Structure formats: structure tokens, C-alpha cells
């Protein structure tokens, strides 16, 4: 019988730096670059950023027109959400930000409903959660 040698590999231990995760979380919630003269973004800059995301999401909403109604509701409400958040940052009106928070909650709940329905319908092979009818006509693809 052969004797099997046990080799000991020098594998570095993971997470050897103590409190790394806790310090990273604290770093995210604070402005880490304040000591270097880098200020936080202004509300107008954040408004432009959110507006760009709203434009991108609007194009994605146009592209999802052949999917089910639940996915269309998600992208429509997400588009409205980004434009409302941008408007709230531009104007500084607190009411617009509150309304966008309500739209965001609706968008999140509709996304959970849509994802849950797609996963359960695919898993069980039948319609369990109604998602709206799929369009039978597909737009022709460019060649």
C-alpha cells in the first residue's frame, strides 16, 4: 500500500484585514474625498444624471413594447420615476420628491410582481400569475 503524502499548500487566508467590511460601509456613507478638496455633487448635477437615466429608460420602454404588460408597467413607472426625481432635484420642491418616492414604491412592487410571475410561470409550465397577454405579432428585425 502506498503511503499518501499530505502536502500543505500555502494558501493565503481570506479576509485577513480586520474590520474591512465595516470600514468600507462607513466610507460609502460618508464623503471620503472631502479632505482632498472634492465636494459632493450639486443637486443640479444629480438632476442631470437622473435625467440621463430617464432618457435611457424611456428608450428601453420603447424597446420592450413586445413584452407582457407587467414588464411594460415596470419600465413605464421607472421612466416616470427617473424624470420625477430629476425634476425634484432641479427645483428643490420637496413634494415632487415625495411623489417620486411613491412612484418608486409602486415601481418596485410591480417589478417584484412581474419577476415573481415570470419565474413561477416558467417553473411550473403554466400561467399562475397573470402578467398580461403577450403580443403575437413581433416587429420585423432589421437585417
pLDDT tens per residue across span 120-142: 988 988 888 888 876 556 656 66
Grid coordinates belonging to 142: 432589421
Model-level pTM greater than 0.75? no
pLDDT digits (tens, 9 = 90+) for 70-83: 999 999 999 999 99
What confidence score (pLDDT) does residue 130 get? Answer: 86
The C-alpha atoms of residue 21 and residue 32 are separated, in whole angstroms, by 15
What local confidence, expressed as pLDDT, does residue 129 receive? 86
> What confidence score (pLDDT) does residue 42 get?
83
Which tens digits make up the pLDDT trace of 26-48?
665 666 666 666 677 788 888 99
How many helices (H) and strands (E) are present in the chain, helices listed first? 4, 0
Place of cell 415573481: 116
Average the pLDDT over 13-28 and give the result: 56
pLDDT of residue 29: 61
Q: Which three cell numbers stand for residue 68?
A: 407582457
Question: What's the pLDDT score for residue 4?
Answer: 55
Amino acid at each position: 500500500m502506498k503511503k499518501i503524502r499530505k502536502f500543505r499548500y500555502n494558501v493565503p487566508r481570506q479576509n485577513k484585514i480586520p474590520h474591512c467590511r465595516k470600514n468600507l460601509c462607513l466610507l460609502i456613507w460618508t464623503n471620503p474625498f472631502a479632505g482632498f478638496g472634492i465636494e459632493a455633487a450639486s443637486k443640479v448635477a444629480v438632476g442631470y444624471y437622473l435625467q440621463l437615466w430617464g432618457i435611457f429608460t424611456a428608450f428601453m420602454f420603447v424597446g420592450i413594447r413586445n413584452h407582457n404588460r407587467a414588464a411594460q408597467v415596470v419600465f413605464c413607472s421607472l421612466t416616470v420615476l427617473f424624470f420625477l426625481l430629476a425634476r425634484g432635484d432641479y427645483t428643490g420642491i420637496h413634494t415632487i420628491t415625495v411623489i417620486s418616492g411613491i412612484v418608486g414604491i409602486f415601481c418596485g412592487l410591480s417589478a417584484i410582481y412581474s419577476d415573481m410571475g415570470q419565474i413561477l410561470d416558467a417553473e411550473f409550465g403554466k400561467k399562475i400569475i397573470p402578467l398580461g397577454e403577450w403580443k403575437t405579432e413581433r416587429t420585423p428585425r432589421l437585417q
